[in-house]
Amino acid sequence: MELHNQERAPIYEALERFRQMRVVPFDVPGHKRGRGNPELTQLLGEQCVSMDVNSMKPLDNLCHPVSVIREAEQLAAEAFGAANAFLMVGGTTSAVQSMVLSVAKRGEKIILPRNVHRSVMGAMVLCGAIPVYVNPECDNRLGIPLGMSVSAVEKAIRENPDAKAVLVNNPTYYGICSDLRTIVRLAHEHGMLCLADEAHGTHFYFGEGLPVSAMAAGADMAAVSMHKSGGSLTQSSLLLTGPAMQEGHVRQIINLTQTTSGSYLLLSSLDISRRNLALRGKTDFDRVLRLAEYAREEINAIGGYYAFSRELINGDSVYDFDVTKLSVNTLDVGLAGIEVYDLLRDEYDIQIEFGDLGNILAYVSVGDRPREIERLVSALSEVRRRFGRSKADLMTQEYIDPQVAVSPQDAFYAPKESLPLRETAGRVCSEFVMCYPPGIPILAPGERITDPILDYIEYAKEKGCSMTGPENPEIERLNVLKEDE
Ligand SMILES: Cc1ncc(COP(=O)(O)O)c(C=O)c1O
């Protein structure tokens, strides 16, 4: 294979050349290098708005890349060990949707864990695929879903030999990994593809002492959030494919939903971030890993909090753990994770990634320094001292096995009616309900609503989780399928 020069950043370089050409714009965007929108220029700076340009021959076109974007994609493919890489500007949501739409169409099955991000289920609403859920085991003490056990995947494959693909979270939001290599092998042995949601795993491709990346494990497609641990701008992402996927077909699928006006701010940020990762990712992530390890030790020394790590590894449903994830169980402090999340922001000006019923996740990245870690640790210690209480009335999250009555697409588009929350028990939901983040649906279209699910929704609302999905923003009502239809 021809090796590319990872020190190059073709999109960034083309933008620099273009800037020096001082081209007079009679094309979009209409702000014309910011002149038509002085307030925006003041906010973002002249340099930034002058790079917000349209596709044109010297800058290539994201929908059909032939020059600098294509080169940037080849560099990314090489850096991530993929056969092909596609730069994405619609978030990892668009990468996940493109994976699902590339492998399944209406009526075809995908095997997956239930604790997937809403983008996976949204993709199934779009294409009409049928989910076959593998129950991720749940750690009852922590109240978090784990990975898929190999035997559970094997059983799902045996019972659904017609499934097109197996989708795996690599890792989950909390840092938990399934045995991806074995799952890939099983899928391939049964003629299925393996897809990985690597929204939280970009650093697996560059760091040491981290779980295996999807491409190294032989997966066929991976959706990689460069804007999370990769350092690029929000909304920029990568879709990686292995040798079994046909590049042209995947490009056509991406173009079904991707904008025809790809942002050069996002594209150049992907290009520059890939260069950084290729050149110094190993040292950067080594530092992140050490910061997270240090924070974990300090937080565990406070008492009450449990910053969990590799001790959860059990060879199966927790096959590996991403030690850069600073996930902390808060229940022994007598506070729900979401309460600690709110207290850290309201009382200590610290914004963490998310809090659920029993845990928080503080995102540690290349942008952190020891002083921020110290501040987080001392704030957590203060939260315990000032607000800690008995854990008696706290609810932990339990895995509720979904009862899929109708496919997500059929349920989403079916005739429906809106009912008060408590009157929906026993009915089939036609919309999503989730806490965001993490964005893992509590209910997805087509699933039967049960009393434990309603208890959970009410408790999460009461604790202050920000909930989204339903048409009714207060989540006092839910749309359900009409019974007589
Ligand atoms: C597991 C997972 N997949 C996909 C996504 C979608 O990513 P984005 O917000 O970039 O669209 C997220 C977002 O948090 C996620 O957590």
The residues spanned by each domain of the chain are: 10-278, 282-387, 408-481
Rounded mean pLDDT of 64-83? Answer: 98
With a 6 A CB cut-off, is 174 part of the ligand 1 pocket?
A: no
CATH level 3 topology of 282-387: Aspartate Aminotransferase, domain 1 (3.90.1150)
**Mutate-to-test residue for ligand 1 from 96, 118, 270, 354, highest number of ligand atoms within 8 A of CB:** 96
Residue 286 CA to ligand 1 centre (angstroms):
24
- Confidence (pLDDT) at 3: 63
pLDDT reported for residue 101: 98
Q: For residue 2, what pLDDT is reported?
A: 57
| CA separation for the pair 396, 138 (Å, rounded) | 11
Q: Are strands 221-224 and 193-198 parallel, antiparallel or unpaired?
A: parallel
Atom of ligand 1 nearest to the CA of 228: 10
Angular region, 30: left φ>0, alpha ψ -120 to 50, beta rest: alpha
Ligand 1 pocket mutation pick from 98, 119, 224 by most atoms within 8 angstroms of CB: 119
Mean per-residue pLDDT, 181-201: 98
Cβ–Cβ under 8 Å, residues 428 and 410: no
Residue 448 has pLDDT above 80, yes or no: yes
**C-beta 198 within 6 A of ligand 1:** no
pLDDT of the residue at 98: 98
Could you tell me if the CB of 92 is within 6 A of ligand 1?
yes
Q: Which positions ≥6 away from 144 have C-beta within 8 Å? A: 138, 172, 174, 176, 327, 356, 358, 359, 397
In this prediction, residue 97 carries a pLDDT of 98
Task: Express each pLDDT in 293-304 by its tens digit.
Answer: 999 999 999 999
Instruction: Return d(Cα 66, Cα 201) in angstroms, integer.
Output: 29
pLDDT band with cut points at 50, 70 and 90 for residue 18: very high
The DSSP output letter for 205 is G
> What does the pLDDT average to over 421-440?
91
CA distances from 418 to 121, 144, 364, 415, 477 (A): 21, 31, 41, 11, 6
pLDDT at 364 exceeding the cut of 70: yes
CB 117 near ligand 1, within 6 Å: yes
Confidence of residue 397 (pLDDT cuts 50, 70, 90): low
What is the helix (H) or strand (E) element at residue 285, kind and residue range?
helix 264-302
Distance 352 CA to ligand 1 centre (A): 16
Ligand 1: which atom is nearest the Cα of residue 116?
Answer: 1
pLDDT at 485 over 70: no
- The finding on whether 434 has its CB within 6 A of some atom of ligand 1 is no
Say what the pLDDT of residue 140 is: 83
In ligand 1, which atom is closest to the CA atom of 94? Answer: 11
Sign of CA dihedral 328, 329, 332, 338: positive
Classified by CATH at the fold level, domain 10-278 comes out as: Aspartate Aminotransferase; domain 2 (3.40.640)
Q: Determine the average pLDDT of the residues in 337-348.
A: 96
How far is the centre of ligand 1, averaged over its atoms, from the C-alpha of 93 (Å)? 6
Query: Average of pLDDT values for 167-181?
Result: 97
What is the 239 CA–ligand 1 centroid distance (Å)?
13
Q: Are 372 and 352 in contact (CB under 8 A)?
A: no
Alpha carbons 344 and 321: distance in angstroms, whole number = 26
Which of 92, 167, 257, 434 has the most ligand 1 atoms within 8 A of CB, as the residue to mutate?
92
Q: Is the CB of 258 under 6 A from ligand 1?
A: no
CA 96 to ligand 1 centroid distance, Å: 8
Structure tokens at 81: 């060990």
Q: How far is the CA of 120 from the centre of ligand 1 (A)?
A: 9
Weakest-pLDDT range from 16-25, 246-255, 270-279, 319-328: 16-25
Query: How many other CB atoms are found less than 10 A from the CB of residue 55?
Result: 20
Q: Give the pLDDT confidence score for residue 463 in this predicted structure.
A: 83
Q: Tell me what pLDDT residue 398 has.
A: 66
Residue of 93, 233, 270 best suited for mutating to test ligand 1, as the one with most atoms within 8 Å of CB: 93
Given a cut of 90, whether residue 390 has pLDDT beyond it is no
> Is any ligand 1 atom within 6 A of the Cβ of residue 376?
no
Q: What is the pLDDT of residue 135?
A: 86
Q: Which residues contact 84 (CB under 8 A, 6 or more apart)?
A: 73, 77, 240, 241, 245, 247, 250
Query: Does domain 408-481 correspond to CATH entry 3.20.20.80?
Result: no
Higher per-residue pLDDT: 351 or 462: 351
The two three-digit tokens of residue 166, written as one number: 């197996």
Residue whose structure tokens are 């994609």 = 73
- Considering only CA atoms, give the Rg of the chain: 23
* Model pLDDT for residues 140-150, shown as the tens digit of each residue: 889 888 999 99
Q: For position 91, what pLDDT does the model report?
A: 98
Q: Is the CB of 96 within 6 Å of ligand 1?
A: yes
Q: Is pLDDT larger for residue 138 or for residue 232? A: 232
* 473 alpha carbon – ligand 1 mean position (Å): 21
Report whether pLDDT(209) > 90. yes
Give the mean pLDDT of 160-173. 97
pLDDT given for residue 164 in this prediction: 98
What pLDDT shows up at residue 271? 98
Q: How far is the CA of 226 from the centre of ligand 1 (A)?
A: 11
What is residue 422's predicted lDDT score, i.e. its pLDDT? 95
Which pLDDT band, with edges at 50, 70 and 90, does 138 fall under? confident
* pLDDT in the model for residue 241: 98
**Separation of CA 225 and ligand 1 centre (Å):** 7
Number of the ligand 1 atom closest to the C-alpha atom of 227: 10
**Average per-residue pLDDT for the chain:** 95
Q: What is the reported pLDDT for 23?
A: 93
